[in-house]
């Protein structure tokens, strides 16, 4: 069956967007409990689409940060994505479930030997490197701190070590990466876990299969 005919056959099924990276294994394990076996996505790093005709479903493997856009525009009916991404992007999607895995924290960090006061109340103008531009701006604005935000898509912890920034705003799990790079946590901005998100139109047009899956997942999580 070709790609076009496969897509047509699944048109009244559901498309679920899954994130590449650290939470994919947990996402696949949870979906497998509901009968959606997506292990082929984990086994083949080049595979980005997996059709499950027996479940009238299609799985997409996407960058975490792209999933809210796919779901908002209806290219995917549902998706699994970190709460940090949802708060950063503020896309118009329905968020029915906290999936309770992928726990991490968005924090402010600085070099261990940095000379400025750790208390943000005493900060003046600082440079902050991050990929969370909206959340960082909101955080420092609430504290009345003037910041110059520098967008970086990766290796953010390098920025203060070479003088590009004074601080960083980044996700941490154990904090080991910060420690290994001579950085210390200053403040926590938010706690994040993986969430199930749903396209608002699909929730109405495909209500029965989608809400059945939501109910299944909620049962497994309880």
Summarised one tens digit per residue, pLDDT across range 91-119 is 999 999 999 999 999 999 999 987 665 55
* Residue 40: pLDDT band with limits 50, 70, 90: confident
The strand pairing partners of 16, in sequence order, are: 59, 78
Question: One fold for both 14-103+193-221 and 104-190?
Answer: yes
Q: Residue 100's pLDDT is what?
A: 96
At residue 96, the 3 state secondary structure works out as strand
- Residue written as tokens 């003046």? 124
Tell me the average pLDDT across 17-22: 93
| Superfamily of structural domain 14-103+193-221 | Periplasmic binding protein-like II (3.40.190.10)
Q: How high does pLDDT run on average in the chain?
A: 90
State the first-to-last Cα distance of the chain, in angstroms, to the nearest integer. Answer: 39
| Superfamily of structural domain 104-190 | Periplasmic binding protein-like II (3.40.190.10)
% the chain with pLDDT above 90? 74
At residue 204, the 3 state secondary structure works out as helix
Please give, one letter per residue, the 3-state secondary structure of 167-200: EEEEEECCCHHHHHCCEEEEEEEEEECEEEEECH
State pLDDT tens for residues 128-176.
999 999 999 999 999 988 999 999 999 999 999 999 999 999 999 988 8
Any idea where the domains of the chain sit in the sequence? Answer: 14-103+193-221, 104-190
Tell me the average pLDDT across 61-73: 97
CB of 100 closer than 8 Å to CB of 221: yes
Nearest to 132 by CA among 73, 190, 71, 61: 190
- Residue written as tokens 């402010």? 108
160-196: buried (b, 16+ CB within 10 Å) or exposed (e) per residue? beeeebbbbbbbbeeeeebeebebebbbebbebebbb
Secondary structure letter of residue 41 according to DSSP: H
């Amino acid at each position: 069956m070709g790609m076009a005919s496969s897509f047509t056959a699944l048109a009244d099924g559901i498309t679920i967007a899954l994130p590449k990276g650290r939470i994919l294994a947990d996402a696949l394990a949870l979906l497998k409990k509901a009968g959606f076996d997506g292990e082929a996505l984990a086994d083949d790093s080049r595979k980005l689409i997996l059709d499950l005709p027996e479940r009238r479903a299609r799985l997409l493997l996407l960058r975490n940060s792209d999933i809210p856009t796919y779901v908002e525009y209806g290219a995917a009916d549902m998706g699994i994505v970190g709460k940090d991404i949802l708060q950063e992007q503020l896309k118009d999607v329905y968020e029915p479930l906290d999936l309770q895995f992928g726990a991490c924290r968005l924090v402010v960090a600085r070099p261990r030997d940095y000379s400025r006061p750790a208390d943000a109340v005493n900060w003046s103008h600082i440079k902050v490197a991050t990929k969370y531009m909206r959340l960082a701006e909101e955080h420092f604005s609430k504290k009345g701190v003037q910041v110059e935000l520098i967008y970086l898509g990766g290796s953010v912890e390098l920025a203060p070590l070479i003088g590009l920034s004074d601080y960083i705003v980044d996700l941490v799990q154990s904090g080991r990466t910060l420690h290994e790079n001579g950085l210390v946590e200053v403040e926590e901005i938010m706690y994040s876990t993986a969430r199930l998100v749903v396209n608002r139109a699909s929730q109405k047009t495909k209500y029965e299969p989608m809400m059945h899956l939501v109910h299944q997942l909620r049962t497994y999580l309880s």
